[in-house]
A and B are shown apart, each in its own frame.
Chain A
Amino acid sequence: MKQAVEHSNLELVELRIPARPEWVALARLAVATVANRVHFSLEEIEDVKLAAAEACAAVIQHDRHGEFIDLTCEALENALRVRVRDSGRQGVAVAAGAPMNFDEARIAGLGIFLIRTLMDEVTYDVNPQAGTDLFMVKRLAGATDN
């Protein structure tokens, strides 16, 4: 597992939500609140909200075995680190391999594309038994690796 930014524990929020569509808004709110602590612009906050929500939506749409999504948001000095973990056998990173029809696959591809476009670093760790961990980092404009 790649750790994109050194761990600082400056401010960390952990949230467990049911893996159901009606709870994704809460994940967005949590990410936006922590992103605000990093002093991102409103546009950057919208970016991380969308990226985190896409990760949650991918879990919900393609992981039919997990009950929860664990979201961790960490405000670092010049960056926000977000971890989205599902408890199922299929998850965010392996969505492309899940049984989907063509249209579903195309939309899932859009979600993954948005995550990769809006965030500065995206890595994932797939464990067939425990689920998928997706790590995302967004840095403040002009900031380099911490």
Chain B
Amino acid sequence: MDIKVNVREAPGDCYVVDLSGEIDVYTSPKVKDAIGELIDRGVYYLVINLEKVRYIDSTGLGVLIGGLKRVREHGGSVNLVCTNPQIKKIFDITGLVKIFGIFESEDAAMKAIA
């Protein structure tokens, strides 16, 4: 069990964070660190790609919420790319669909930021 984190620059002062694997109480600190480092560098527009995430728990949700809270303090945003029905279900039942922009593709998530 592991999480792979890949950060890449995108057009328009935006960064994409690709996550692959399982985000849980063990792996979420790694995700938190990656997002935190970007925000510390002044990156306030993030697309977090969850297409290859097989599992997420409340600690993972907490990391995403924490990142969103921080970027919003600077007028930024966090858009998510999520196509896994089980992951989308977690966002639905927790009501987080109302606070995150959740998109079917990275292109759509990027366009929503622009």
A residues in contact (CB < 8 Å) with B: 21-22, 24-25, 28, 43, 46, 49-50, 53-54, 56-57, 60-61, 103, 106-108, 110-111, 113-114, 117-118
B61 interfacial contact with A, CB 8 Å: yes
Which candidate, B11-19, B22-30, B73-81, is the interface stretch facing chain A? B22-30
B42 interfacial contact with A, CB 8 Å: no
12 contacts between A and B (CB under 8 A): A21-B25, A25-B26, A28-B55, A50-B55, A53-B24, A54-B58, A57-B25, A57-B59, A60-B25, A103-B66, A107-B58, A114-B93
CB contacts between A and B, total, < 8 Å: 60
Cα–Cα distance between A11 and B59 once the two chains are bound (Å): 31
Closest 5 CB pairs of A and B: A107-B62, A21-B26, A111-B58, A25-B1, A57-B25
Q: Is the CB of A22 within 8 A of B26?
A: yes
B6 interfacial contact with A, CB 8 Å: no
CB proximity of B32 to chain A, nearest CB, Å? 12
Q: Is the CB of B62 within 8 A of A110?
A: yes
Q: Which residues of A contact B22 (CB under 8 A)?
A: 25
B105 interfacial contact with A, CB 8 Å: no
Q: Is the CB of B58 within 8 A of A110?
A: yes
B33 interfacial contact with A, CB 8 Å: no
